[in-house]
Structure formats: structure tokens, C-alpha cells
Amino acid sequence: MVNQLLKAPEGPPSDVEQIKDKSNYLRGTLGEVMLDRISAGIPDDDNRLMKHHGSYLQDDRDLRNERQKQKLEPAYQFMLRVRMPGGVALPAQWLVMDELAQKYGNDTLKLTTRQTFQMHGILKWNMKKTIQEIHASMLDTIAACGDVNRNVMCNSNPFQSEIHSEVYDWSTKLSDYLLPRTRAYHEIWLDEEKVVGTAEMEEVEPMYGKLYLPRKFKIGIAVPPSNDIDVFSQDLGFIAIVEDDKLVGFNVAIGGGMGMSHGDKKTYPQLAKVIGFCMPDQILDVAEKVITIQRDYGNRSLRKNARFKYTVDRLGLETVKAELENRLGWSLEEAKKYHFDNNGDRYGWVKGIQGKWHFTLFVEGGRIADIDDYKLMTGIREIAKIHTGDFRLTANQNLIIANVSSQEKEKISKLIVQYGLTDGGHYTALRRSSMACVSLPTCGLAMAEAERYLPVLLDKIETIVDENGLRNEEITIRMTGCPNGCARHALGEIGFIGKAPGKYNMYLGAAFDGSRLSKMYRENIGEEEILRELRVLLSRYAKERQEEEHFGDFTVRAGIIKAVTDGTNFHD
């Protein structure tokens, strides 16, 4: 019966599927076009392949119109992401990324919502040198983008450091195990000699196959009670189960994803659903078999409906679970109890195990830069020079200076003060709970501002917050420049999705712990309307909320918004 239900959607393959098919396992003509100095850009087919190598070709949209008037090609540049499971980097690796951002990038680093570094402004002729220097630091950019498993996330909260090490190890094992096997990356960027006369090329990708996945695939591991990685937003989520201070295994959740398209009700954000429990040493097998189900039954005709969440919804959760267990050759155990209470970060100094300390910096928008009198990039650089622990990039775009000894803590504290680095304590809790995608000027998909605008909007919202005595009330607020969901907007208690320049769809009602989606409250509104609505909403919240009631829960209980129980009713 199960096999009768399992089939991929019919239809001709999408253009991207055809590009991958002809690419010779992600090589295309990248090796040749990257040597061309006539244009700073590359052909679109190669750009589609470039994603699998960790990069996108973009252009500076602030300059686009002027360059067009001057009959110049767009100001092309590359965005480059690093594969860094769990967001852990050594101080030496931080210094390499810092140096490369200044040497080849735009003098900034972006801490992404998937716990890794993102660089902007790299010119084509500097790409190979950049990737080689990243490789020399024991990092890489393989599969940081593209139709493969991307950077594996894991919990980074410092107060759980006794479990973090074990969970981090599993995130690293998953990341390595699920890497593409093609040598294209090594040949193109690292000058590895191509092996001549290789046997059947199908052996190159024993798991992914010649066409890889229908769309990107995301995995994350959360350790309750913290859901900082928003485990239900992942295609495949693992929830660590800890008993008697020991990791006994993981609950398995499948079918999450945040992206959608405006006006298309066949696209929607969706929360992953828990289907069972596995032992720690079974996690690699589970991940591989889930990925092969998506490989075989995902939509390769329509990319808007190609994510795993749509495969799960189309085939049915129980059908997918049965097929997973069939491929595993064993059954998942019944899911174990767990509890999440937040999806944010804990700021400032926190003491962990073995006398080690961790300091979480608030990094607005995840942007590491020296701006005006705030020398954030310089300050972290100086800390990295003396730091003997590690750095942890959080899923909320912040930075943890981790594993600091008591002796080292005093030196780092002095540098924090010297450069004015902050835990965000002088900001409202709302700002500390904010997140924004890059958006303009570099993202080609952006419809409105996000990273550059949210701080400006927060300046005005904070006035309303202060007027209502809510300065220390944590309310998650997230903004994206388009509906693709890079800042996980659908899990913000207040969410904004760019619709047009200066216009946003406003969403309310998500759960503070990341277990419920938001729902559209107002469509296509600008700043004036946003502030008018929030003035009423926050005033009501201050007066009518119940004890310890979060803002998202209040908007649902008060009937301001209907709870979204399933992604398919997100638009209703």
C-alpha cells in the first residue's frame, strides 16, 4: 500500500534540473568562466551551479540604475558562505575571515541565521584566492548553498555546555557525512588534478545521485529547553533528549521550512512534525534515508513546491514515516517528552562547566563591522588575538566568546569595555530579540529593506515600548526583504515580510518557543501604519496580558489573530 502512494509529481524537469543534469557533477564551465576578466559576472547556468560551491553572484542594487544609465554592466560581486557546523570557529579561523573580509570583501562579516560566516563584495578574480585561504584555515564553503544539505545547526547556549560538546560532535558528523562526493570543488578552487578514466560517475554521488536534491535541505539539532535554532523550521530537526545529564537520543521532526511566495497559496511556511525517537548512533542513518526520500519523491518540475515540506504534505506524514522505516530496516521508537521555553540567546557572561566562562555579544543584524564610533570588528579582532577558547555563532545572529578561562576572562573583559562591545543591556529586550536578513543592496530577491531598515524602525517602536512599560519584555521581531524566510520571519511574534519598497506584510501570533507560526495581520503597509498598529497592540498587551503571557500568545488569546495550526492555513 505504501509503495502505491509514493510517487514524484509529474511534469517536465525545471531549468535548474536540466542545468544540474548537464553539469558533470556541478562542474559546468565554472573552471573556465572564473578565469575570464572581460566581465565581472558569470553566465546564469554557472551561477546556478556556483551555489553548490557556497556562493552566489550578486550586484550592488544601490548602483544598478546609475550604472545602467552609464551603459556599464551591473556592479557584480560574489557572496560567499562558509560551511561551519554548529557555528563553532577557532580564534585563528576568525582572524582569517576578518582578514579576508578586508582584503577581498566589503570590510564586513555577516553572521547568518544558520550559524556561519557570510562575506559580501568579493570580485570574481579574487574568489579562488579567497576560497583557498579559507581552506587553509581548515574551513570550506562546500555545500553552504545549493540543492544539497546545508550548514548543520546545533544549540549554542553556553549554560548547556556539558551537552553542547556532544551535540556539536553530532552536527559535525552529520555535516561531513552528508557532503556531496563530487571532486568538482577541489578541482575548480583547490587545483586538485582531475582523475582520468574514472569508472561510472554515478559512484561519485552514492546518496545524492546525478541531479542532487530538488531544492535545498536544512538540518538542525536543538537541546531543550532552548530552541535557539528553531528546530521546527528545519527540513529535518533533531531534538536532543537528556536524561540524568546524559544524551540518550533524539526525537526526529520532519517537514519544516519558512519560505513562501506572495499571492501563491500553494506555498507556505510549515513547522516540522515529530515522528519518533532514535538513538545517537542512528542519527546519520536517519538523516541519509530522509534525504533519499526527498531525492526520489521531491518535486523536480516546480521549484516553488520542491522543498521537503511539500513532499511530506503531498505524500502524507505517516506514508513518509513508513517509507523512512522501510529504508532504515528498523522502526523509530515513540517520541520522548521534551519542553522548550524560548528561542532566543542569553546575553553577557554565563559560567559553564570546568570553570569556563562564555560571553554572548549582541550583534544587531549579525553585521560585524566598524561603523562610526562603534569598533565592533576591531574589538573582536583584538579579542581573537588573545582568546584561547572558541567562538560560537548563534542562530540569532549573535556571537559567543566561548570557553574563556577565569584568568583570560579579565583580559577579555577589559577589551570588551575598551571597544564598547555590548551584551545589549542598554537596549530594549525587543531589540535584543530582533533578527533581519541581508536584503538590499546585495540580495537579488529583495523587495524591500530589512537589515538596514529594522534598526531604524526599532528606534521608533522602542518609544512605544517604553511608554507602555515593556522595555524588558522579550518579544521576538523579525524582518525579511522577501518571503523566502532567511530570518525565519514566520516564527517571529511580530514579523515583517517585504512586499515593495517601504511596504511590508505584518504578521502576528507566533509562539515564543518557536512552536507556532505567525499569521498575516495587515497587508502591504508602510511605517506609519506599522507604528499605528503597534501603538494599539502593545498598549493592549501591557494592560490585558496575563501573568508571564508572551506577546504572541496574547494576540491569539485576545482574538487579535487566529492561531495557525498548519502551514496550509497560513494565508487564510
Question: Is position 216 annotated as part of the catalytic site?
Answer: yes
Which candidate in 83, 124, 215, 218 is catalytic? Answer: 218
Which candidate in 20, 114, 216, 478 is catalytic? Answer: 216
Which candidate in 124, 150, 356, 367 is catalytic? Answer: 150
Distance CA 352, CA 329 (A): 40
Distance CA 177, CA 173 (A): 6
| 43 Cβ contact list (under 8 Å, min separation 6) | 29, 33
Question: Is position 482 annotated as part of the catalytic site?
Answer: yes
CB neighbour class for 250 (10 Å; exposed up to 12, middle 13-18, buried from 19) = buried
Question: Is position 150 annotated as part of the catalytic site?
Answer: yes
Is the previous residue joined to 12 through a cis bond, with omega within 30 degrees of 0? no
Residue pointed to by grid coordinates 522579550: 474
Which candidate in 145, 154, 278, 486 is catalytic? Answer: 486
| 42 Cβ contact list (under 8 Å, min separation 6) | 30, 33, 34, 36, 50, 57, 124
Per-position DSSP letters for 129-167, written without gaps between them: HHHHHHHHTT-B-TTSSSSSB-PPEE---GGGHHHHHHH
Question: Is position 81 annotated as part of the catalytic site?
Answer: yes
Helix and strand numbers, DSSP H then E, in the chain: 18, 22
Task: Using alpha carbons only, give the angle 339, 552, 231 rounded to the nearest 5 degrees.
Answer: 40
Which candidate in 295, 356, 443, 488 is catalytic? Answer: 443
Which candidate in 110, 278, 482, 488 is catalytic? Answer: 482
Which candidate in 367, 437, 478, 499 is catalytic? Answer: 437
Question: Is position 431 annotated as part of the catalytic site?
Answer: no
Question: Is position 145 annotated as part of the catalytic site?
Answer: no
Distance CA 150, CA 84 (A): 10
Which candidate in 20, 48, 51, 81 is catalytic? Answer: 81
Closest CA to 213 of 141, 311, 92, 111: 311
Distance CA 502, CA 525 (A): 8
Residues acting as catalytic residues: 81, 150, 216, 218, 437, 443, 482, 486
